[in-house]
Structure 1
């Protein structure tokens, strides 16, 4: 990405409260707020425009990050309809300052964003599906530029679920391994938690004591992100989890301490490695 200037405005002076974000030389604008300030957000003129929005929070079953991606010709009206959803605690909206987004544009953006979120797998995507929209080639190219600007701003506003994954082949000295009963997974610490790489293995059976992790593993199986291969499971994509412990628990089939079950190629535990680094 190119260097750019971000203009971040804290409406009430609170860095976690209602705020707007803009990039230099870009027609888009982001508005974000916690759920506790939704009434203030809905009063803003920008939300009467077409746009895409993100509801973010925590899945009540698994405790993992959850995200809903939507679009609307009048974002404020659509957000009022989400008051019955209890998982989300913050909302982020993207609109165009020149009012140049059409229904087809925002449907296209929604479809691409849902696809990216599902591919990334770092959060539970609450949406069932999206058909997106086909655009003329020139419009699609314009929306792809708009999308890249949105992706550049999202981490600044606290949404890191679209960040590009780490390349497994880079800095192999930092790779970590989790071994149990003849299976092995490979992973690495990330800024957002811990990534387990495609091709890693996990035990086939849940531990009898597994509760929350049983649900999480079954969700991954339902999505095809974990698949049964003989006497074990295999990761079909890189998957980023919120912590080394969650990653280790998925691999081991039950609650595990990620700081001790992940080790480097010399057998040194992650806990010791982080102590040495500090």
Structure 2
């Protein structure tokens, strides 16, 4: 992405409260708020326009991040319908300041975001299906540029679900490995936790005590991110976890200290590596 100047306005002075975000020379605008300030958010004139929104939170059972992506011609009215859902604790809305966004445009953006979130696997996507929309070639190109700007702003607003994962090939010198029962997995620290690379192996059986991790692994199997391969499981794609310990626990089928389980090719533990860097 290109360098950009971001204008962040804290409406009530709180960095986690109601806030707006804009990029220089961009027609879009983001408005974000915690659930506790949604009533204030709904009063804003921008939310009567067409736009798309993201509801983010944490799954109470797995502890994983959750996200719901929606669109509406009147965002404020649509958000009122989500009041009964308890999985989310924050909302981020994107609208266009030049009022040229149509229903087809926001459905197109919604469809791409849902697909990206599902493919990335960084969080549980609460949408049952992706609607999407077909656009004329010129409109699609324009919306792709708009979306690029949105993705540039999202991490600043605390949403990392669409961040690109580490490239395994280009970062091979920093790879870490987790081994158990002749199986091996490779991964790397990231800004948001720890990514396990496709092709990594994991034990097929859960430990009897690993109830929470069992649910997490079964969820990944159901999504096709982990597949059985003889007497073990294989990661079918890169998956980013919240910590090295969560990544190691999925691989080993139970509670794991990721700081000692993940090691460099020379056998140095992640804990040692990070201690030497500080």
Question: What TM bracket, shorter-length normalisation?
Answer: over 0.9
Q: Distance in 2 between matches of 1:191 and 1:121?
A: 16
Could you tell me which residue of structure 2 aligns to residue 214 of structure 1?
A: 214
Q: Does residue 242 of structure 1 match 2:260?
A: no
Q: Distance in 1 between matches of 2:215 and 2:134?
A: 36
Q: For each residue in 1:103-146, what CA deviation from the matched residue of structure 2 results, as whole angstroms up to 9, or x when unmatched? A: 11111000000011111111111111112001111111111011
**Post-superposition offset of 1:220:** 0.4
SS of equivalent residue, structure 2 residue 20: strand
User: Which stretches in structure 2 are left out of the alignment for 5+ residues?
Assistant: none
Q: Does residue 24 of structure 1 match 2:28?
A: no
Q: Does residue 186 of structure 1 match 2:186?
A: yes
Q: Distance in 2 between matches of 1:176 and 1:210?
A: 24
Q: Does residue 163 of structure 1 match 2:173?
A: no
User: Which stretches in structure 1 are left out of the alignment for 5+ residues?
Assistant: none
After TM superposition, the structure 1 = structure 2 runs for residues 81-160 of structure 1, keeping only pairs within 5 Å, are 81-160=81-160
**Post-superposition offset of 1:264:** 0.7
Q: Distance in 2 between matches of 1:20 and 1:191?
A: 24
Could you tell me which residue of structure 1 aligns to residue 80 of structure 2?
A: 80
Could you tell me which residue of structure 2 aligns to residue 231 of structure 1?
A: 231
Q: Distance in 1 between matches of 2:145 and 2:180?
A: 45
Query: Over aligned residue pairs, what C-alpha RMSD do you find?
Result: 0.7
TM-score (norm 2): 0.99
**Post-superposition offset of 1:171:** 2.8
TM-score (norm 1): 0.99
Q: Distance in 2 between matches of 1:85 and 1:263?
A: 41
Q: For each residue in 1:173-199, what CA deviation from the matched residue of structure 2 results, as whole angstroms up to 9, or x when unmatched? A: 211000001111000000000000010
